[in-house]
Structure 1
């Protein structure tokens, strides 16, 4: 495993984990998670690397081993997409694949809507409704941060709070980051003519309908793996489905 510090947007340093050799694929993790938890811990990255891929897995700013600045200027609109563009430029990627889970999938979709054209793309843990109407999800997580000292077991925010605590999320930086996200132009995705895998846990509709998202994209296929939203990343079937699609 190689970990490299890469300069993202506005000089923020980002940790990029690397595994395997071959065709590059850039994988983006979910909100308040990390490259290790989403891709490495449960074998997804290894399954993809075994099919002949160089797997590049950044920790988003405010996540994992990347920096979490407290300066508001470090969080312009869609800053995570800007970070991904900086990583692509750093590695000189021109012919590559792209994938993401949850927030990572949302960031992938945003980049596709803005015109980025990898060879193939994977949108995991994402449905059509998760790409727009961000305000509701933002306000939920902002309330978790604001009320973190008073949330008790039984509150619907309890599990999210425990996950944030386990990941040692910086509440100041996280608040700034949450306010940087905007909605994805879903109509622009109708012009994305490249193979896309939409893959979701059988019990996961946290981000809306994966069926509707797959139907919107011109060249998408839909796959189902076991698990809930948080649980799907722990199942080997996720890595197997992604690896088979990328190698196809």
Structure 2
């Protein structure tokens, strides 16, 4: 992991793979990966096989630890966080690396950040994938207070809320700074309205696990965005969907203009 300065915040990032030529001799856009809450590059993208998968497909892969996460600087004030601000970290990383335009994959919180990047800087986003976040991108996530309190608790043994306990356990598993994560989840959650979603100009793929109650329906979000494609990963919840093989194959088809597996299956049934 390398480091760069994002307007005074040290951000750790990975830049791997050189990319290859696509059809017609043009170079494939790099892929920018934005991880979810309490995760990091290694957990979200390395251990799930995404980095190797995209490299083998001929892509340059750029991924970064969001502020307050992984190897990036830990900040403890509410004003240090929020998806629009974190989207600017992503944009500054593209600037730092001299990347004019990239495919973007965001997962969970990373999908919200990717949405704000696509809204604020449409010229920098080629295709965008919202993973692990469907209609709840617009509806918002309720009940973040218990999660913040779980992160602030002296011990996980003091946490009784099952969902909040899951977040605390995951944060401990990733060796996260619990105070930084609590500030991140307590920070102002800038809304994404249906109208804002509809104005995203980049091609959009929404991918959510079939049993993912955190993300909500992929199809419902896709309906709000002109031309968006939606897929579901059968039998997968929020945590297990991220490394799904179908998810990877669908993203590759989306980037390269091929037919989605779900579309192919539907045509075969007819």
Gaps of 5+ in 1: none
Q: What is the CA deviation profile of residues 176-233 of structure 1, one whole-angstrom value per residue up to 9, with x for unaligned ones? A: 2221432223312212233111111122131222111111111211122241101112
Is the Cα–Cα contact under 8 Å of residues 211 and 238 in structure 2 kept in the other structure? yes
| 1:131-170 pair list within 5 angstroms | 131-134=138-141, 136-147=142-153, 149=155, 150-152=157-159, 155-170=162-177
Q: CA deviation at 1:246?
A: 1.6
Greater relative CO (CA pairs within 8 A, separation 6+): 1
| Alignment pair present for 1:219 and 2:219 | no
Picking from 243, 252, 255, the partner of 1:246 is 255
> Which residue does the alignment assign to 2:105?
99
> Which residue does the alignment assign to 1:195?
203
> Which residue does the alignment assign to 2:39?
33
> Which residue does the alignment assign to 2:239?
230
RMSD: 2.2
User: Partners in 1 of 2:64 and 2:82 — Cα distance?
Assistant: 19
| Alignment pair present for 1:6 and 2:4 | yes
Q: Secondary structure of the equivalent of 1:85? A: helix
Runs of 4+ in structure 1 off by over 6 angstroms are: none
Is the Cα–Cα contact under 8 Å of residues 137 and 192 in structure 2 kept in the other structure? no
| Alignment pair present for 1:49 and 2:58 | no
Q: What is the CA deviation profile of residues 159-189 of structure 1, one whole-angstrom value per residue up to 9, with x for unaligned ones? A: 2111011112212222222214322233122
| Alignment pair present for 1:83 and 2:89 | yes
Q: What is the CA deviation profile of residues 85-125 of structure 1, one whole-angstrom value per residue up to 9, with x for unaligned ones? A: 21121112212211100000011112223342411111101
Picking from 17, 21, 34, the partner of 2:18 is 21
User: Partners in 2 of 1:242 and 1:46 — Cα distance?
Assistant: 14
User: Partners in 2 of 1:214 and 1:205 — Cα distance?
Assistant: 17
TM-score, structure 2 as length reference? 0.82
Gaps of 5+ in 2: 20-28, 258-270
Is the Cα–Cα contact under 8 Å of residues 16 and 58 in structure 1 kept in the other structure? yes
Picking from 124, 136, 140, the partner of 1:129 is 136
Is the Cα–Cα contact under 8 Å of residues 151 and 158 in structure 1 kept in the other structure? no
Q: CA deviation at 1:27?
A: 0.8
Q: Secondary structure of the equivalent of 1:21? A: coil
Q: Secondary structure of the equivalent of 1:120? A: strand
> Which residue does the alignment assign to 1:171?
178
User: Partners in 2 of 1:199 and 1:73 — Cα distance?
Assistant: 30
Q: CA deviation at 1:71?
A: 5.3
User: Partners in 2 of 1:156 and 1:222 — Cα distance?
Assistant: 26
